[in-house]
Amino acid sequence: MKKENGIGYLGSEFLLWLFWKSAEDETMSLNNLGLGEIRISLEDSITLVSVTGDGYCETVKSPEILTLPSLRESIKRGRLPDAAKIRISSKELEWSFVVKAMPFKISSVKLPITGEKNESEMISVRLLAMTRLELIMKALFNTFLLERETPDFISDLKDFLGISD
């Protein structure tokens, strides 16, 4: 789905939600979906684009990206995430990748390093890691969609961003 100006708003909202959730509490439970506890965080880079269609685009890079007041200020001024580097940890596995809002996709996936010496075992474990990442991302997006429909979603997001009514 996209708005007239070409911004994929569900992808952008999902990235904004990931920023919010990782800034508040990096740990998220997906136990109800059989995936256990995961840790999610924005790595060190997020790209914001203007929702007004004026062509404004900025990429913020910082190891302290989750605590930068300028990032929240930029969002308050009408800029939404277009891409972000994400890190997810689940049990002993860890992935790093980029999520793009428009078109909505995952790229540059860094798979977990495994200790298998046998090539066929290594391939099998890496394929299982890809499948697990896909399940986690589907579960996260599903959780986002469910939370997005709750009555307090907008007010809670505004509170997180420091936006007063």
Bridge partners, residue 94, by sequence: 89
Quote helix, strand, coil % in the chain, to nearest 5.
40, 30, 30
- Which range has the worst mean pLDDT, 39-43, 52-56, 153-157? 52-56
Question: How far is residue 147's CA from residue 130's CA, in Å, rounded to a whole number?
Answer: 26
Going from the C-alpha of 128 to that of each of 131, 132, 133, the distances in angstroms are: 5, 6, 9
Question: How far is residue 16's CA from residue 156's CA, in Å, rounded to a whole number?
Answer: 13
Tens-digit pLDDT profile for residues 137-157: 999 999 999 999 999 999 999
Q: Where are the domains of the chain?
A: 9-161
* Residue appearing with tokens 């100006």: 5
Tens-digit pLDDT profile for residues 68-122: 888 888 888 889 999 999 999 988 889 999 999 988 899 999 988 777 778 888 8
- Report the pLDDT value the prediction gives residue 8, as an integer from 0 to 100: 54
- Ramachandran angles phi, psi of 114, nearest 5°: -115, 160
Q: Which helix (H) or strand (E) holds 50?
A: strand 37-50
